[in-house]
Amino acid sequence: MARLTLTSVVSNLFSLFCDSFLDEGPISGMVNYVHISNSDLHINDILVNGVWQWNHLYTAIPANVKALLMNIALHANTREIYMLRPGSDGIYTTPSAYRWISQEPNV
């Protein structure tokens, strides 16, 4: 039997620095500072045609944070969706999905 897990899929409409779409929390907490010119950027402002435009940022993004961003699953024009994907933490069941969705968000 295949092992499946639920995963959150991030929207390209999320605020790049303020929304908490990574398990580690918002990007603003992973950088030394957010340049004022970048404070209102959304993911789709620097991810153009599938290519991250890091040179358009005035905020220094550490390499480990860039790696996290490049590994997110994006879905256009929606706030957040959930999907199944292969995983190693157990067999998917309806109760396990409910427990996962009911978790308190990382703050």
Domain definitions of the chain by residue range? 4-101
Q: Are 10 and 81 in contact (CB under 8 A)?
A: no
One-letter amino acid identity for 62? P
Predicted model pTM = 0.60
Q: What is the full per-residue pLDDT of the chain (107 aa) written as tens digits?
A: 333 344 445 666 778 999 887 878 899 999 999 999 999 998 888 988 888 999 999 999 999 999 988 887 666 555 555 555 444 555 666 676 676 667 655 44
